[in-house]
Structure 1
Amino acid sequence: MTDSHAHPSRPGRGRTKLVLIMLVFLAPIVAAGLLTLSDWQPEGKGNGRPIVPQRSMADVRIDVDGRPWAWRDSEPRLTLVALPGPGCAARCVATLGLMRNARIVLNRNADRLRLLYLGEPPRDAAGVMDDYARGDDTTGAFASFRAAEPDSVAAVLVESNGTALAWYPAGFDPNGLRKDLQKVIR
């Protein structure tokens, strides 16, 4: 009579299992290292256009109410910079309102986003403009991002350390901006 439990397992079988388990855990690390060395970057599904190369706005002086705008605030807060085209009117004001609403939708995190409007404030937009700080880009640092079409607005999202992250050109989808803000601000 033979007992199936009486036969010892083959020598080295435990080591093979151990090596396979180690490979399961090492494979993602090796793959990440290879991707990093090849400078591969994942393609995000953000709605804004990434600013490449990234630019630091930390030294850009924007005066708001006679004082320089603090890109690096006392708390980590992002800044959404609104850049109107010539003659900001009804369509531009509507987009500014949707940008403001995107901030409101952040609920308890709404304070982590500041709204900054660079340019001459539009007429008939008092309710919308109440949530925006108003400044002037006298250095022209945001000129390449500014909307060129009349009655339109573009936007730049600036990180709390002063790095410009994403650009939303004139005609951007405000719902896409809202989704991006909800991903970035948690």
Structure 2
Amino acid sequence: MAKIDTSLIEGYADMTPEQKLAALEAFEYEDNAAELEKQKNALSKANSEAAEWKRKHNALLSEEEKKKQEDADKLAQMEQELADLRKGKTVSEYKAKFVAQGYDEALAEETAQAFADGDSAKVFANQSKFLEEYAKKVKADALKKTPKPTPGAGSGGGAIDYDKKIEEAQKNGDLAAVAYYNRLRAQEEAEQNKS
């Protein structure tokens, strides 16, 4: 912002603060609007002349120079397309790997794109989402595979050999069943101890 030249105000140094304020409020700048308009017109004219010179220059270029310029433009375009294709291929490969690990399509696509872009924060966030969903699925599957107790089991009237059931479950690698039979055996023992 332009400062006011107080030397242009007569007796400014000897005025009281109220008089100075009144003098500053009454101060009028020189009107430079005409000069500003003149400068804008000169700039517009210079831009027009530069555009005209550029047009004339391009018209004077030889056919060979024009061809070189066109070839350079095409090469730049092809390089950009190649880079886009390579990135698309990379994203596609990553997506296939994420889907093979159990990711759903949408999460795999999003994670692959983030991985290709180098956005590790997004990759780790998506991995956390996947692991949460996967843990829920594993628990649900384990509950579905857990055998239902037979009537009378745990009431002392059943003839279930828990050691045998636990051994079978361990051979099959069914840890949920092992835990289930251990729990039933503990419940039965607790009920027997109460009696």
Q: What is the TM-score of this pair, normalised by structure 1?
A: 0.24
Q: Which has the higher strand share?
A: 1
> Which has the greater radius of gyration?
2
Higher relative contact order (CA 8 A, sep 6+): 1
Task: Pick the structure with more helix per residue.
Answer: 2
TM-score w.r.t. structure 2 length?
Answer: 0.23
